[in-house]
């Protein structure tokens, strides 16, 4: 019984198993690979959508999709799951943009949407259901609609 309590406590404090780092190369996140249940890559590098999508499924039930350019740079990330992902791992060097946007808002008042020329984030949810997306407008390929990224 004590083992179960310890295992649950440890699982609750482990970071999300995401390798997405917005604006960097895939795989630059800090989470250990043992936390991943599976990873699937979908190659959509055709003339219509010149990127690759990689899905990571964390042990905590969060799904992260990272969208990678042929130059091996993550231009967008999306997430959904029962808990909010570790935003520092997910956003990488763009974390200050997220914290600055969140600081100007009243806590718990609807979705957080912040957009400037350099960074865009939409984050919403409630206990048990969180979702969002972040992307770098300057890196989004011309023929890709960010509304379609899930």
With 70 as the cut, is the pLDDT of residue 65 above it? yes
Express each pLDDT in 71-116 by its tens digit. Answer: 999 999 999 999 988 888 888 888 887 777 777 666 666 788 888 8
Phi, psi (degrees; rounded to nearest 5) at 78: -130, 155
Predicted local confidence at residue 1, as pLDDT: 45
* Token pair for 113: 């949407």
- Tell me the torsion sign for CA atoms 15, 66, 64, 146: positive
Alpha-helical runs (H) found in the chain: 2-13, 87-91, 95-103
Express each pLDDT in 104-117 by its tens digit. Answer: 666 666 788 888 88
Look at 2-11, 14-23, 30-39, 114-123 and tell me which has the smallest mean pLDDT: 2-11
Q: Which residue has the tokens 């055709």?
A: 46
Alpha-helical runs (H) found in 45-123: 87-91, 95-103
Burial class (CB in 10 A: 0-12, 13-18, 19+), 78: buried
Q: How far apart, in Å, are the Cα atoms of 90 and each of 6, 8, 121?
A: 27, 23, 12
CA-nearest of 150, 32, 35, 18 to 84 is: 18
Exposure class string for 12-21: b at 16+ Cβ within 10 A, else e: eeebbbbbbb
End-to-end Cα, the chain, rounded Å: 39
* Token pair for 35: 């936390």
Share of the chain above pLDDT 90, in %: 26
């Amino acid at each position: 019984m004590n083992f179960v309590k310890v295992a649950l406590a440890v699982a609750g404090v482990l970071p999300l198993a995401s390798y997405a780092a917005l604006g960097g190369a895939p795989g630059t996140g800090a989470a250990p690979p043992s936390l991943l249940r599976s990873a699937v890559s979908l190659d959509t590098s055709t003339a219509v959508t010149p990127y690759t999508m990689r899905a990571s499924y964390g042990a905590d039930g969060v799904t992260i999709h990272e969208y990678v350019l042929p130059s091996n740079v993550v231009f967008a990330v999306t997430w959904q799951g029962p808990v909010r992902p570790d935003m520092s791992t997910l956003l990488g060097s763009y974390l200050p943009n997220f914290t600055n946007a969140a600081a100007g808002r009243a806590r718990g008042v609807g979705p957080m949407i912040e957009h400037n020329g350099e960074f865009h984030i939409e984050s919403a949810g409630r206990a048990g259901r969180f979702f969002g997306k972040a992307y770098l407008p300057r890196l989004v390929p011309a023929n890709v609609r960010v509304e379609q990224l899930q």
